[in-house]
Amino acid sequence: MQITTQDIQTLREKLGVGVMDAKRALADAQGDFTKAENLLRAKGAKSAEKRASKETNQGCIGSYVHSTGTMAGLVAVACETDFVARTDQFKQLAHDLALHVVAAKPKYLKPEDVPQEELAKEEDIWRQQLANEGKPEKMFDKILEGKRQKYFQEVCLLQQLYVKDDSMTIEQVVKEYVARLGENMRITGFSLLSL
């Protein structure tokens, strides 16, 4: 098993981890880059869970204006300290999230924010579609749960697949930054403006 300096550097740049963490992960994964990446992400997820209760009263607002000048996104991202809020990595995250808002056009931050009336209306439409397709009524609830989750992925920012890496949701991206920067973070609001 040969671990090269280039492998360590590539892993560091991709996940923003320290040299020793990257080296240790590659050693634990016996040189398998994908396994090492998964090990570090799992470790980062545990770190994010531990920090989730920390208060977030600092942060910044990221902005992105589309090249046509006809759409813009704003995202408020909170963190624990102004030290982290001023880092280039944190500002880049806020900017990238604003870019995502312009590209994906979410309507709500999280599933709990979707009005019950709107969800009920969608479910009525889905029930009618299932009936028209001749699906057995006893399967409706299971199918509706899948449709509900898919709907949340379309309209809720935290559930959407990240436009820069569709292997992760926005919620997972934020958790990765929590692990990378060592502070709790959360999106507190967003806005999409268009002509």
* Domain ranges (residues) in the chain: 5-51, 58-108+156-194, 115-154
CB atoms within 10 A of CB 188: 13
- Segments of the chain assigned E as strands: 58-65, 71-79, 161-162, 165-169, 185-194
What is the pTM for the complete model shown?
Answer: 0.73
Pick the CATH number of 58-108+156-194 from 1.20.140.10, 3.30.499.10, 3.30.479.20, 3.40.718.10: 3.30.479.20
Q: Quick one: pLDDT at residue 98?
A: 97
Class of the domain covering 115-154: mainly alpha
Determine whether domain 5-51 maps to CATH 1.10.8.10: yes
**Terminal CA-to-CA distance of the chain, rounded, Å?**
56
pLDDT band at residue 120 under the 50/70/90 scheme: very high
Structure tokens at 158: 């935290």
